[in-house]
Amino acid sequence: MITGVVPDRVLFLMLDGLGDRPSRELGLMTPLQAARKVALDLIASEGMTGLLDPYAPGVPVGSDTGHLSILGYDPKVYYTGRGPLEALGAGIDLKPGDVAFRVNMATVDDDWNLLDRRAGRISTGEARELARAVAELAERFDSTLSFEFHSTVEHRGVLVIRGEKASSSVTDVDPHREGVRVQMPRPTDGSESARVTAQELTRFLLRAKEVLDRHPLNVARRQRGLNPANALLPRGAGVMPKLPSLRERYGVRSVVIAGGALYRGVCRAAGMDVRLVPTATGTLNTDLRAKFEAAVESLRSYELVFLHIKGTDTASHDLNPSAKRDFIERIDRELHRHLDSILSGSVICVTGDHTTSSLDGRHHGDPVPLAVAGEGVRRDDVAKFDELSCSRGSVGRVRGLDLMNVLMDLIGRVEMYGE
């Protein structure tokens, strides 16, 4: 399989929430252990394996902090909230200092009691139309701060606030559960900018509700017995951080292929280009074939190709270890079609951004399996890719923050420390 060509590029295959715990449904195996997977096992047997602590042993991480860490950015330094990463992923250009929120378009009653966090599962098309009305409001909104709103998928969207007095030190407006009254944002520190942001955001949200309540699309939804999307509920405020790019750190050109906005956002923050695959959905029925084809083709023009696949995590959140096993098998079949071509000239790394247990549907701090193969990569005697087999591998246990150095050094992109 490995061809003698010295590799000068890396394909990073990130399987979200890959690690798991053994379940009775799978005969006390994890989905990875239970899956039949030719290509993934081949990578393990031809290369080196180990366990990866995305951040630190026993610390469960979100996809946001897990990805930052694995790309080499300490979340303690660079993570300010999920908002900016979602906004970048939605294609919005942010400058350092811009404040961004994730937003749910939701249904509230006249007293702002939250009735439906997803506004009757409103379609992406309808949400876009409503978002246009909010965008017009933002344009004529008289304030010391400027507002920008975009809807993304279904009821989800992002809100960006810019200006000298923009601050991320405000409380979430989204109460995260239905049946309670929505509280307007409050400052979480004593700064003038937090006070101004809370005050202006409150005004904006109240005006947005007026606009949305009387929007013909919502009037029609009510007539059809559907919940209107009549309120914006921001959460996850963060200020856009300044990250040293992968090009600055390693001199590589890099690109991300991902269905979910968050993953594109984290990678854009790291300076990666985005390659869109229109049929990549970020769900279990994503177009794996198109994603792998795009990834392999991108290896021609980039030294680092980051291919993110979300369905593994989704199956765990659905408490469905069998679906996760089946999805891993599908990934494996698509990967297998390209493995020879990937291994001629590239290093491939496969791992996950955290463990997601399909027993309780939660993220956990268990380490995730890691396998790296390519010309010149040490071979250990592990021949299977799963949580237990990889624990016997030659890499041992590595921190997410160190992984990018390990990979970039394999292709000669890390400067020597000392003389």
Interface residue list for Zn ion (CB under 5 A): 16-17, 63, 313, 353, 356
Smaller CB separation from Zn ion, 63 or 286: 63
Residue 22, classed as helix, strand or coil, is: coil
In angstroms, the CA 102 to CA 208 distance is 16
DSSP secondary structure, 255-272, as one string: EEE-SSHHHHHHHHHTT-
Smaller CB separation from Zn ion, 70 or 305: 70
In angstroms, the CA 353 to CA 249 distance is 21
Among candidates 259, 346, 349, which has minimal Cα distance to 308?
259
DSSP secondary structure, 202-244, as one string: HHHHHHHHHHHHT-HHHHHHHHTTPPP--EEEEEEEEEPP-PP
CB of 318 to Zn ion, least distance (A): 11
Smaller CB separation from Zn ion, 60 or 97: 60
CB of 275 to Zn ion, least distance (A): 20
Neighbouring residues of 330: CB distance < 8 A, sequence distance ≥ 6:
288
Q: Please say whether the beta carbons of 336 and 19 come within 8 A.
A: no
Smaller CB separation from Zn ion, 17 or 374: 17
CB of 354 to Zn ion, least distance (A): 5
The angle, 0 to 180 degrees and rounded to 10, between the axes of the packed helices 38-46 and 321-343 is 60
Smaller CB separation from Zn ion, 33 or 356: 356
CB of 361 to Zn ion, least distance (A): 9
CB of 170 to Zn ion, least distance (A): 26
Smaller CB separation from Zn ion, 20 or 98: 20
Smaller CB separation from Zn ion, 155 or 354: 354
Q: Please say whether the beta carbons of 134 and 232 come within 8 A.
A: yes
Among candidates 144, 119, 116, which has minimal Cα distance to 212?
119
Neighbouring residues of 306: CB distance < 8 A, sequence distance ≥ 6:
12, 14, 254, 255, 256, 257, 258, 267, 272
DSSP state of 355: E
Residue 16, classed as helix, strand or coil, is: coil
Smaller CB separation from Zn ion, 104 or 356: 356
Q: CB nearest Zn ion: which residue? A: 63
Smaller CB separation from Zn ion, 9 or 324: 324
Q: Please say whether the beta carbons of 44 and 389 come within 8 A.
A: yes
CB of 54 to Zn ion, least distance (A): 9
- Give me the torsion for CA of 135, 261, 401, 49, rounded to 10°: 180
CB of 265 to Zn ion, least distance (A): 13
Neighbouring residues of 283: CB distance < 8 A, sequence distance ≥ 6:
259, 310, 311, 314
Q: Which amino acid is at 323?
A: A
CB of 20 to Zn ion, least distance (A): 12
Smaller CB separation from Zn ion, 11 or 262: 262
CB of 310 to Zn ion, least distance (A): 8
CB of 66 to Zn ion, least distance (A): 6
The β-bridge relationship of strands 231-239 and 99-108 is antiparallel
CB of 89 to Zn ion, least distance (A): 14
Q: Please say whether the beta carbons of 290 and 341 come within 8 A.
A: no
Smaller CB separation from Zn ion, 63 or 169: 63
